[in-house]
Structure 1
Amino acid sequence: MTIGARVFKTGLAVAVALWLGTLAGLESPVIAAVAAIFTVQPSIYRSWMQVLDQLQSNVLGAGIAIAAYWLFGSAPLSVGLVCILVILLCIKLKTEDTIGLTLVTVVIIMEAQNQGWPAALDRLASLLLGIGCAFAVNVSVAPPKHHSRFVRQVQEAQNQLSRLLRTSVSNELKENVFRKEQEQLHEQLRKLDDFYRLFAEERVLKKRSRLRKARLLVMYKEMMMTLERGYELIEAVEEQYFAVPSDPAWNRMVDQHIEMLCGYHEQLLWKWDKKLKAGAAPAAPPPESGIRLTEMIAAEGEFDDALKARIAAQGETEVTVRARLLVVTSALFAYEDRLHRLDKLMDHWFERGLDGAEE
Structure 2
Amino acid sequence: MALGPRVLKTGIAVAMALYISKFLGFQTPVIAAVAAIFAMQPSIYRSWRYFLDQLQTNTLGAAIALLVGMAFANDPLIIGLTCIIVIMICLKMKMEETIGLTLVTVIAVLEASGQWDFALSRFLHTLVGIGSAFVINILFFPPKPNVQFLKQIDAVFNRMSLLLRTAISDEMKESSFRSEYQALETEMLSLHDKFKLFEEEIKKIKRAKYRRSRQIVVYKQMLNTLQKGLEVLETIDNHYFQSTRTPEINAAFDRHLELLEKAHELVLLKLDDKMKPELESIEQMEIENEKFLQTVMQEIHFDDGSRRLSIVAAACYEYGYQIARLDRLAGHADIEEKVTS
Q: Measure how far apart 1:44 and its partner are.
A: 1.0
Q: Render the CA deviation track for 1:210-256: whole Å, top value 9, x for unaligned.
A: 32221111001111111111111112222222112212222212211
Distance 1:217 1:88, change over 3 A: same
Deviates more, 1:50-59 or 1:21-30: 21-30
Aligned match of 1:230: 229
Partner of 1:259: 258
The answer on 1:181 being equivalent to 2:180 is: yes
Q: Find out whether 1:118 has 2:117 as its counterpart.
A: yes
1:26 CA drift (Å): 2.0
Identify the residue that residue 356 of structure 1 maps to in structure 2. 336
Give the distance between the partners of 1:103 and 1:18, measured in 2 at CA.
Answer: 20
Match of 1:332 among 316, 319, 322: 316
Q: Compute the displacement of 1:169 (Å).
A: 0.8
Separation in structure 1 between the aligned mates of residue 297 and residue 34 of structure 2, nearest angstrom: 66
The offset of 1:297, in angstroms, is: 3.6
Contact 2:286 2:321 in 1 (8 A): no
Q: Deviations over 1:170-219 (max 9, x none)?
A: 11111121111111111111111000000011146665x63222111100
Deviates more, 1:72-81 or 1:35-44: 72-81
Percent identity of the aligned residues? 41
Supply the distance in 2 between the matched residues of 1:294 and 1:77 (Cα, whole angstroms): 67
Whether the 8 Å CA contact 2:260–2:285 is kept in 1: the answer is: no
Name the CA distance, whole Å, in 2 between partners of 1:295 and 1:52. 57
**8 Å contact kept, 1:260–1:284:** no
* In structure 1, C-alpha distance between the alignment counterparts of 2:297 and 2:46, rounded to whole Å: 53
For the aligned residue pairs, the C-alpha RMSD in angstroms reads: 2.1
Closer, same or farther: CA 67–298 of 1 in aligned 2, 3 Å: closer
The answer on whether the counterparts of 2:256 and 2:292 sit within 8 Å (CA) in structure 1 is no
Instruction: Please tell me whether the aligned partners of residues 28 and 122 of structure 1 are also in contact (alpha carbons under 8 angstroms).
Output: no
Question: How many aligned positions are there?
Answer: 338
Classify the secondary structure of the residue corresponding to 1:265: helix
- Structure 1, unmatched stretches of 5+, are 304-316
Match of 2:57 in 1: 57
Judge conservation of contact 1:113–1:119 (CA < 8 Å) in 2: no
AA aligned opposite 1:336: G
Paired residues of 1:61 and 1:86 also in contact (CA < 8 A): yes
Structure 2 unmatched runs, 5+: none
- Between structure 1 and structure 2, the one with the greater Rg is 1
| Cα pair 2:66 2:116 within 8 Å, conserved | no
1:158 aligns with 2:157: yes
Residue 319 of structure 1 aligns to a residue whose secondary structure is coil
Structure 1: how far apart are the matches of 2:206 and 2:286?
A: 43
**Alpha-carbon separation, structure 2, partners of 1:267 and 1:274:** 10
The 3 A distance-change label for structure 1 pair 142 and 283 is same
CA change 1:120–1:260 in 2 (3 A) is same
Partner of 1:314: none
Q: Which moved more, 1:336-345 or 1:18-27?
A: 18-27
Moved more, 218-227 or 85-94: 85-94
User: How many Å separate the matches in 2 of 1:336 and 1:296?
Assistant: 15
Cα pair distance change 1:257/1:21, threshold 3 Å: same
Q: Residue 118 of structure 2 aligns to which amino acid in structure 1?
A: A
**Partner of 1:342 in structure 2?**
326
Kept after mapping to 2: 8 A contact 1:157/1:188: yes
Q: What CA distance in whole angstroms lies between the structure 1 residues aligned with 2:286 and 2:79?
A: 71
The alignment status of 1:11 with 2:11, answered yes or no, reads yes
Deviation at 1:285, TM superposition (A): 4.0
Change (3 A) 1:256 1:203: closer
Contact 1:10 1:134 in 2 (8 A): yes
Cα pair 1:257 1:285 within 8 Å, conserved = no
1:69–1:110 CA contact under 8 A, matched in 2: yes
Instruction: Report the AA paired with residue 68 of structure 2.
Output: A
The aligned counterpart of 1:312 is none
1:128-180 superposed Cα distances (whole Å, 9 cap, x missing partner):
11111111111111111001110111111111111011111111111121111
What is the letter of the counterpart of residue 80 of structure 1?
A: G
Find the counterpart in structure 1 of residue 192 from structure 2. Answer: 193
Secondary structure (helix, strand or coil) at the match of 2:112 reads helix
5 Å-filtered alignment, 1:201-216, equals: 201-203=200-202, 207=207, 210-216=209-215
**Cα gap change, 1:284/1:124 in structure 2, threshold over 3 Å: closer, same or farther?**
same
Out of 291, 297, 303, which is 1:319 matched to?
303
SS at match of 2:251: helix
| Rounded Cα–Cα distance in structure 2 between residues aligned with 1:78 and 1:110 | 9
Whole-angstrom distance in 1 between the partners of 2:277 and 2:122? 63
What secondary structure does 2:135 align onto? Answer: helix
- Range that drifts further, 229-238 or 219-228: 229-238
- Structure 1: 4+ residue segments shifted above 6 A: none
Structure 2 counterparts to residues 3-152 of structure 1, below 5 A: 3-113=3-113, 116-152=115-151
How big is each residue's C-alpha offset from its partner over 1:277-303, in whole Å with a ceiling of 9 and x where there is no partner? 34431555445534443444444xx69
